[in-house]
């Protein structure tokens, strides 16, 4: 069984992002980049499926500039077998990514496609659902448990009311939630081995996909500065401030 895992290059979650001088986007100069945390969980789940003997091959894919090979190599060090980079300088948006993934899925024919439920840079949470629709595959978003047995999947997903368990046929698209697993760290020997694992390079033109953005970012602004809070000694003082200063109660 082949598993395809999609990973995205994003600003490291521990870095405080800054808006660039002309308010057109985020300042990426000398900023530490990393794999999207939700995608790290997806890679870990794929590796666990291989360790259980469910998966036989893990293919990791990333899309964007040449620098994305860094995140592919990280996934290879964690246990993936080979990588694919779809190299482009275009600003890739969810629908374009889903179409590119669909083209790769048609070539690779994986039984399971796993990636994070959202990327921490734009929080769209759209690509997985779009890909499932384009492929006509079963889908389970926000998965907190995945069990593959006898060619079928049982996925527990987190919903507003609690947990929902789905029985699904393969092929399957899964997007991972935080509670699915705890990603491992890559060992030094595996990091060295990852340098020798194959990474193929394609372009959107090779896949027959128009990746031009459909939306344009007009302006990016940081959130407004918030005033410091105050501590109150009594409930009466709190009510007085809410009534007379904040004016949120009457």
Q: What tens digit of pLDDT does each residue of 169-213 get?
A: 999 999 999 999 999 998 999 999 999 999 999 999 999 999 888
CB-facing half-sphere around the CA of 105: CA atoms within 13 A: 25
pTM of the model: 0.85
Listed in sequence order, the DSSP H helices in the chain are 37-51, 69-78, 94-108, 127-135, 188-194, 235-244
Instruction: State the pLDDT confidence band at 57, using cuts at 50, 70 and 90.
Output: very high
* CATH architecture of the domain with residue range 2-215: 3-Layer(aba) Sandwich (3.40)
Return the pLDDT at 121: 86
- Angle at 37 (CA atoms; ends 127, 12), nearest 5 degrees: 110
What residue ranges do the domains of the chain occupy? Answer: 2-215
For residue 3, the model assigns a pLDDT of: 96
How is residue 96 written in tokens? 């374009």
Helix-strand-coil percent breakdown of the chain, rounded to 5? Answer: 30, 30, 45
30: part of which helix (H) or strand (E)?
A: none
- The pair of structure tokens assigned to 74 is 């990280």
Task: Give the separation between CA 22 and CA 24, rounded to whole angstroms.
Answer: 6
């Amino acid at each position: 069984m082949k598993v395809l895992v999609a990973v995205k290059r994003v600003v490291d979650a521990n870095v405080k992002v800054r808006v660039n001088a002309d308010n057109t986007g985020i300042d990426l100069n000398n900023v530490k980049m990393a794999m999207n945390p939700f995608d790290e969980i997806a890679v870990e789940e794929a590796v666990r499926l291989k360790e259980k003997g469910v998966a036989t091959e893990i293919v990791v894919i990333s899309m964007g500039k040449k620098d994305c090979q860094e995140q592919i190599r990280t996934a290879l060090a964690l246990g993936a077998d080979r990588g694919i980079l779809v190299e482009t300088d275009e600003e890739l948006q969810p629908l374009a990514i889903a179409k590119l993934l669909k083209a790769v899925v048609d070539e690779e024919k994986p039984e399971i496609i796993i990636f994070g439920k959202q990327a921490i840079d734009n929080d769209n949470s759209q690509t997985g659902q779009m890909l499932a629709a384009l492929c006509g595959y079963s889908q389970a978003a926000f998965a907190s448990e995945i069990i593959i047995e006898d060619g079928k999947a049982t996925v527990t997903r987190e919903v507003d009311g609690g947990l929902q368990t789905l029985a699904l046929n393969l092929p399957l698209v899964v997007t991972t939630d935080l509670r699915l697993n705890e990603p491992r760290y890559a060992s030094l020997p595996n990091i060295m081995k990852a340098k020798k694992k194959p990474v193929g390079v394609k372009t959107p033109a090779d896949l027959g996909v128009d990746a031009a953005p459909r939306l344009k970012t007009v302006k990016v602004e940081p959130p407004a500065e918030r005033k410091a809070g105050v501590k109150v000694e009594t409930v009466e003082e709190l009510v007085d401030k809410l009534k007379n200063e904040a004016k949120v109660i009457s």
